[in-house]
Structure 1
Amino acid sequence: MSTLEIKDLHVSVETEDGPKEILKGVTLTINGGETHAIMGPNGSGKSTLAYSIAGHPKYTVTSGTVTLDGDDVLEMSVDERARAGLFLAMQYPVEVPGVSVSNFLRTAKTAIDGEAPKLRTWVKDVNETMSRVQMDPAFAQRNVNEGFSGGEKKRHEIVQLELLNPKVAVLDETDSGLDIDALRIVSEGVNRFREQEGKGVLLITHYTRILRYIKPDQVHVFVDGRIAEQGGPELADELEANGYEKYTAASV
């Protein structure tokens, strides 16, 4: 059972006017077997939290701690964080011209495990995983995300999640830009991952529609770089009915 623990995290970014604080003291613990949903209006710091956990160089942690099973995540390089068991599904997956999906996936798996997967079983695993998210195995020969639709990019993120099999998955608006069919397929992939023993999920979203497919254990409302409210799945229903106004008004 893995535990991702975030304590009093403060994060800034550089702007034309100097450093600007985005996260203003976030404390959050995700235990293995738990799914946490973070919801909030645009600009509230949700994606900043995701990228700070992953180690994006744009974001500067000014104070606070992030640990995974007691190990200091903030002292790790990006690749070390991945090997430790962290995974980030990006809101806007990037295209990588000249690198095939098959090479990308095998190189990533080799880096995570410290040894290359056996080619025969690996090809079978990749084909089966792509089939589960209704991607044509021919996509394995295409360049990473190049010419992919929004839904295909997000399905490819789920392929990575299933094959790399981290301890904790941070999913940054995995539902954005998806139609109903793609949303269901992506959600099924996330549910397959979290059904494994001890896996943690941090799901960042604007909307409650993905929470109809992926049931969170806890919901956290982000406003102005802080957690303004937290509760069970019923909190998402309240947000669907009433929006964020109650929380944004209180932060002004």
Structure 2
Amino acid sequence: METLEIKDLHVSVKDDDTQKSKEILTGVNLVMHTGEVHAIMGPNGTGKSTLSETIMGNPHYQVTQGDILLNNESLLEKPVDARARAGLFLAMQYPAEIKGITNMDFLRAAINARRPEKQPIAIKDFLAQLDEALSILNMTEDMAARYLNEGFSGGERKRNEILQLLMIKPTFAILDELDSGLDIDALQVVSKGVNHVMGPNFGTLMITHYKRILKYIHPDQVHVMMGGRIVKSGDAKLADRLEDEGYAGLRDELGIHVNLVDSEV
């Protein structure tokens, strides 16, 4: 069993115009293990995406206090590529378009980066795994030959993120609003892909506004973020309550003074 721990994490972001720092995360604490599915829910502006980017090492976000630990080893000094090789994976809310690099070349490079030096994956094995992953996600073979996300629709980009997940096989995957912009059919397909990799050697942290994806990927724990920190945790019934009552009821119950209509960060 492997462990990802977020410990008293405080994170600030510098405003590009004023160059002043604003604290977004105000003390996040979370422990998750392989074999578990955790979901983080919360209103706009509470720092959910900031948390995902900080875990993965985006240099735009400055950790001012606390730590991110993978198997008790701090990741704070490790760049993004080192965190990825260590077993972290981020399915981004808005996957980038990269011209000149095909999906197939990108996937082979990512897989080989996590393998021992001078032991690249055999082409035969790579193609067999790729065919299986494409089939799971109802993706055509020609998508593997296209440039990374170039000309892809929003739904195709999300499927492509899960294709990477299936091929790279990380230890912990952070899924940042995987359900954003997906219709029911696409949501079911990407959820099928995530569920395919579930097991004792894999853990998932899902970030979402809504309960609908939790109907397909069932969480062991649900956490609610407000004001840059986790204010309540529970089982899947907590998501049911949020669906019925919204965030305002929980905010008022806990006596938290936050604006629920801020822009997302």
What TM-score, normalized by structure 1, do the two folds share? 0.97
Residue 139 of structure 1, aligned match among 136, 139, 143: 143
Q: Which residue pairs with 1:175 in the alignment?
A: 179
Higher helix proportion: 1
1:94-113, aligned counterparts within 5 Å?
A: 94-113=96-115
- Residues 103-160 of structure 1 show CA distances to partners (whole Å, capped at 9, x for unaligned) of 1111111112233210122112112211110000110110000111111111111111
Residues 145-182 of structure 1, C-alpha deviations (whole Å, 9 max, x = no match): 01111111111111111111111111100110111011
Instruction: Specify which of 252, 256, 261 is matched with residue 251 of structure 1.
Output: 256
What SS is found at the alignment partner of 1:152? helix
Q: Which amino acid aligns with 2:165?
A: L
Q: Distance in 2 between matches of 1:235 and 1:197?
A: 24
Q: Using the alignment, how far apart are the partners of 1:153 and 1:140 within structure 2?
A: 12
Q: Which residue of structure 1 lines up, in the alignment, with residue 191 of structure 2?
A: 187
Correspondence list, 1:147-226, <5 A: 147-194=151-198, 196-226=199-229
Please give the alpha-carbon distance, in whole angstroms, between the structure 2 residues aligned to 1:242 and 1:71. 39
Structure 1, unaligned runs of 5 or more: none
- 1:236 aligned partner: 239
Q: What is the TM-score with the length of structure 2 in the denominator?
A: 0.92
CA RMSD in angstroms comes to 1.0
Q: Secondary structure at the match of 1:75?
A: coil
**TM superposition outliers: structure 1 runs of 4+ over 4 Å:** none
- Residue 11 of structure 1: SS of its match in structure 2? strand
Greater shift, 114-123 or 8-17, is seen at 114-123
Residues 46-57 of structure 1: matches in 2 within 5 Å? Answer: 46-57=48-59
What's the counterpart of residue 78 of structure 1? Answer: 80
Q: Is the 8 A contact 2:136 2:192 kept in 1?
A: no
Query: 1:247 offset after TM fit, Å?
Result: 3.5
* Secondary structure, aligned partner of 1:36: strand
Deviation digits for residues 185-214 of structure 1 (CA, Å, limit 9, x no counterpart): 1111111112x2231110000110000001
Identity %: 53
Which residue type is aligned with residue 172 of structure 1?
Answer: D
- Deviates most, 176-185 or 116-125: 116-125
- Return 5+ residue gaps in structure 2 as ranges: 258-265
